Amino acid sequence: MKFASLLLLATYAAPPASAYVVHPNPFPATTALRHLRDDRSSRCVPVTHNHLVTTTTGRTATRLNYKGESNEGGSNNFSLRDGDDSSSSSSSNANVWSVLANTERWISDTLDRSNQAELTRQQQQKNKNDNGKMHFADDKGEVKQQQRGGAGGMKDNPYARKEVSYVCETGSELASVVGGVFRRVREARELGESHGRGVEARLGETTDASQPATMRQTNVVVIPNCDELSTFQTFDKLVQAINQARRAARDFVLKKKDDDDGIKDWVVSINCAHLHPMYGMPTPEEQLASLKHEEQEGEVDVNLQEYKKRRDEARRSPYPSVIVEVMSTPPPDFGSRRDEAVAEAAARDTTGSKAEEDADVTSDDVRRLEALFAMSAAKKSSSADDPFYDALGEAFGKKQIMTQTPLSMAQTWVLQNDPAFNEQTSTFTKSDTRHVDAAYEYVFNNLAMLNAADGDATLCLLDRPKRGQKSYVVLPNFLPTSATSFDRFAGQVSNIVRVMPSLADRLMISTFHPEHVVKSTQAPVPIIVITWK
């Protein structure tokens, strides 16, 4: 089941602003701006942490205390420096208040306008139907509709109860912003998976055959301080590249965990959409092409133009924003869940009783153990090794114990096989992630760190890194058995970098992998190589 994004709700039959329940951000690494509200006043307590700030509002709270011009005219032009005049306008934390307030106000006003237009349309339709009535039986359909939709005749909107979280990414570095977007995708996936595991665990403990609950949540990530995203074309290409990378991940051959607990995996669907102050505004080239097309057609569809205009206006938010929606649905059930739960409970009882029977120790077992220890003491080891390591060899079947880590193995191999390696400028980082979204997050966070060191001489020994400097990202548990999938992952990273103005012409991405055909690139572990041009 597809679920629409917040933008489409603002266009057609969107719920009233008071129907939105905004909950705290569930992710532990984020920071909440907790709005403490009562019937008489509204005050906020900020808690700062890194570059992330979230805000939560109550059901009845649709406005925040902030300074700025009213938005009754529908204008979207807000300043990043609204707020208290006594505070520093250059501080990111001070700007967060106005950013979140303006975003919430814009969403509220957009929904109010769409709801008012829907009520007007329904009233006109009702008047038209009243004029055409010829028998009292014509009122039956209207009565049923009012019973379904309430006193106002409005239909139930399933999105009125959707949970919404607001997050502000205050970073100005585009690579860190991309890493933050993938972080939100990862956290949304983890939230959906944890919801599914919790529901399955509860169903396994009881014989109740109730239908599992589906989880849906929306996260609005506001990006106010990144100057590279000021144009809609750049932002649109970036979001499209991120979505394309997420779609390509469906074909990757991932390594499954060994500790499979047997719990059915829920279907976690994540959708990423975007809002922008200049959403849909064409470039001069696009305007010229549109005029030529209209001239060739010889006619203009006024209704289509009005539809496109309203659609674009509904997505012109005060600041560039990414909407991350997650939906966690139960796995396909081809049988009765009650029968399955009863069978699992019976199997657990049988296993428990069998384990209790096996737990009894007899006198024969004790005699066998005594004879075994006496035999091992009588034998004399012919090994020249230390008795401790000899005992370990006997216990593990003469296996060798290696003290090398994946990072040290990668460093040793690169030192011996990569002629471009420079011990003074090259860097190594490692991540144990197995998931695609976490790998994207880690790679782009590394790019942000390296780019920051490039621009700040205090973060590195050189004023600027030398041309050809390499950074090695070691991912030992990510796609270790498929070189094709790993190369495609690196290709998607390159596609995202190409649409980033600050890094498009400065980076080259390559790979080393154990499954490569060419021997010169057969590293012991998967490695992403970032080369600065």
Helices (H), 206-277: 232-248
Q: Is the pLDDT score of 369 beyond 80?
A: no
Most confident of 27-36, 52-61, 217-226, 346-355: 217-226
Q: Is the pLDDT score of 460 beyond 60?
A: no
Mean pLDDT for the stretch of residues 156-182: 78
Contacts of 304 (CB under 8 A, 6+ apart): none
* Dist CA 493 CA 241 (whole Å): 9
Of the candidate ranges 167-171, 178-182, 213-217, 458-462, the one whose mean pLDDT is the lowest? 458-462
**CA geometry: angle at 4 spanning 102 and 266, to 5°?**
115
* Dist CA 516 CA 261 (whole Å): 33
* Dist CA 74 CA 77 (whole Å): 9
Q: Could you read off the pLDDT of 412-432 as tens digits, one per residue? A: 999 999 888 888 888 999 999
Contacts of 328 (CB under 8 A, 6+ apart): 191, 192, 193, 195, 196, 214, 215, 216, 266, 267, 268, 269
In the 3-class helix/strand/coil scheme, how is 386-418 assigned residue by residue?
CHHHHHHHHHCCCCCCCCCCHHHHHHHHHHHHC
The pLDDT score that the predictor gives to residue 244 is 94
* Dist CA 110 CA 116 (whole Å): 10
Q: Is the pLDDT score of 276 beyond 90?
A: yes
Tell how strand 163-169 and strand 52-55 pair up.
Answer: antiparallel
Whether 62 contacts 108, CB under 8 Å: yes
* Dist CA 483 CA 489 (whole Å): 10
DSSP 482: -
Q: Is the pLDDT score of 306 beyond 50?
A: yes
Mean pLDDT for the stretch of residues 142-156: 49
Above pLDDT 90, what percent of the chain? 26
Whether 183 contacts 441, CB under 8 Å: yes
Q: In what order do the strands lie in the sheet with 507-512?
A: 427-430, 470-474, 527-532, 507-512
DSSP 260: -
The pLDDT score that the predictor gives to residue 378 is 55
170 compared with 529, residue with greater pLDDT: 529
Q: Which two tokens stand for residue 467?
A: 């041309």
Q: Is the dihedral of CA 359, 360, 364, 370 positive or negative?
A: positive
* Backbone φ and ψ of 403, nearest 5°: -95, 0
Q: Could you read off the pLDDT of 87-99 as tens digits, one per residue? A: 443 444 547 878 8
Q: What is the pLDDT of the chain when averaged over all its residues?
A: 71
Q: Could you read off the pLDDT of 67-114 as tens digits, one per residue? A: 333 333 344 443 333 434 434 434 445 478 788 888 888 887 887 777
* Dist CA 459 CA 27 (whole Å): 30
Contacts of 241 (CB under 8 A, 6+ apart): 492, 495, 496, 498, 499
> Among residues 456, 450, 459, 445, which one has the least CA distance to residue 532?
450
> What is the pTM assigned to this prediction?
0.67
Confidence of residue 395 (pLDDT cuts 50, 70, 90): low
Of the candidate ranges 39-43, 51-55, 81-85, 291-295, the one whose mean pLDDT is the lowest? 39-43
The pLDDT score that the predictor gives to residue 184 is 93
Helix and strand totals (H; E) in the chain:
13, 12
* Dist CA 192 CA 203 (whole Å): 17
Q: Is the pLDDT score of 44 beyond 50?
A: no
Mean pLDDT for the stretch of residues 398-413: 79
DSSP 256: P
Whether 216 contacts 191, CB under 8 Å: no
Most confident of 9-23, 166-180, 296-310: 166-180
Mean pLDDT for the stretch of residues 396-416: 79
* Dist CA 28 CA 6 (whole Å): 24
Most confident of 24-33, 141-150, 477-486: 477-486
Most confident of 137-141, 161-165, 315-319: 315-319
379 compared with 184, residue with greater pLDDT: 184
Confidence of residue 284 (pLDDT cuts 50, 70, 90): confident
The pLDDT score that the predictor gives to residue 132 is 61
**What are the strands, taking DSSP E only, across 356-506?**
427-430, 470-474
Whether 184 contacts 324, CB under 8 Å: yes
Mean pLDDT for the stretch of residues 453-467: 51
Tell how strand 163-169 and strand 321-329 pair up.
Answer: unpaired
Whether 108 contacts 63, CB under 8 Å: yes
Q: Is the pLDDT score of 180 beyond 90?
A: yes
Cα 11 to its chain centre, rounded Å, is 24
Most confident of 75-84, 96-105, 115-124, 334-343: 96-105
Of the candidate ranges 22-26, 51-55, 199-203, the one whose mean pLDDT is the lowest? 22-26
**CA geometry: angle at 487 spanning 485 and 491, to 5°?**
115
Q: Can you give the length of the chain in residues?
A: 533
Q: Could you read off the pLDDT of 6-18 as tens digits, one per residue? A: 444 444 433 333 3
Q: Which two tokens stand for residue 330?
A: 């139960």
The pLDDT score that the predictor gives to residue 505 is 86
* Dist CA 451 CA 454 (whole Å): 5
The pLDDT score that the predictor gives to residue 433 is 92
68 compared with 154, residue with greater pLDDT: 154
**Coil vs helix vs strand at 475:** coil
Above pLDDT 70, what percent of the chain? 59
**Coil vs helix vs strand at 231:** coil
